[in-house]
Structure 1
Amino acid sequence: MADLPLLDSQRLRALAQHSATVTTNCPCTEPALAAWTSTPLSFPEAQLKDIGTLYVDPYDEPGFAEYHPNGTRYESADAPIAPLYFPYNRCNVAACEVCGRCYLRYTEAGGYFVDRRIRALNQPELIVDAALPG
């Protein structure tokens, strides 16, 4: 993660805006990824290249507080994208090398499993600059 540029909200919005305007047909759009989901086995992960990170400090364990001021939930398609909050604070941003669409990705690790999670980055209006409390 240290070799990826840290993306601020302005750059994240620009990537989301670009991703929202891509009209090219591509296998990466096959699954519905508006909300967080386990990466489908059919998703062409080999087409993705990490282009940035939201992980502020690779030597610090980010928190698990989520940001849902309007009653959304982790799995909501309209949940805000708040970079300082979970799970965004653990994400890299990847771009499809075929069509240019962008995706948020992180690895969920717990108990006895590891799960790669993914969410399309194509709704710039959901990106918020929410500060952590305290």
Structure 2
Amino acid sequence: MPDHLNTATLLDLARRAHARAPGPCICTKTPLDGWQSQPLSLDETQFREIGTLWPENDPEPTYAEYLPGKLKYWSTDAPIAPRYFPYNRCGVWECSLCGRLYLRYTEGGGYFVDRRIRSLQWALIEDVSL
């Protein structure tokens, strides 16, 4: 199982990744600034999991969302709040081609499963308590 990442570690990793690769991503044509269904064209083999935001010793993290104001789940400027859904169910993955970091989780509904992905942007990370 991957190591649990707290908010301070996540922020540090995101800042370092941004310093290595500050420009736009060329690994996919699909913008990943906000949550997206993972593009089928994205090569799974180019990612390696470096940690998880799933809370330690918590078999069922909250489904509460942190979306202040009129922000929506799909908004590109929605905060990344690791203690809230869906971030508390994410793995943190690094692209071996560009060095950028991505958040990934699987959304499951009654009749579907959807792998979702979002780029990890350090400026949007918020350490908000439940």
Scaled by the length of structure 1, what TM-score is found?
A: 0.87
1:3-41, Cα deviation, whole Å (9 max, x unpaired): 211111121112222332305886524320000010011
Say which SS state the counterpart of residue 31 (structure 2) adopts: coil
Secondary structure class of the residue paired with 2:59: coil
Deviates more, 1:21-30 or 1:41-50: 21-30
The 5 Å alignment of 1:1-134 reads 3-21=1-19, 22=21, 27-57=26-56, 59-121=58-120, 123-132=121-130
CA distance in 2, matches of 1:27, 1:45: 15
Structure 2: tracts of 5 or more residues without a match: none
Q: Given that residues 4 and 56 in structure 2 are in contact (C-alpha distance below 8 angstroms), is that contact kept between their aligned partners in structure 1?
A: no
For residues 25 and 76 of structure 1, what CA distance do their matches in structure 2 show? 18
Any stretches of 5+ residues in structure 1 without a counterpart? none
Q: How many matched pairs?
A: 129
- Residue deviations 1:21-77 (CA, integer Å, cap 9, x gap): 305886524320000010011112210011000001365111111001232110000
Identity %: 52
| Aligned partner of residue 28 in structure 1, secondary structure | coil
1:39–1:117 CA contact under 8 A, matched in 2: yes
Q: What is the alpha-carbon distance in structure 2 between the residues aligned to residue 24 and residue 130 of structure 1?
A: 28
Q: Secondary structure at the match of 2:123?
A: helix
Cα RMSD of the aligned pairs, angstroms, is 1.9
Assess if the C-alpha contact under 8 Å between 1:24 and 1:99 holds in 2. Answer: no
Task: Give the aligned residue type for 1:46.
Answer: T
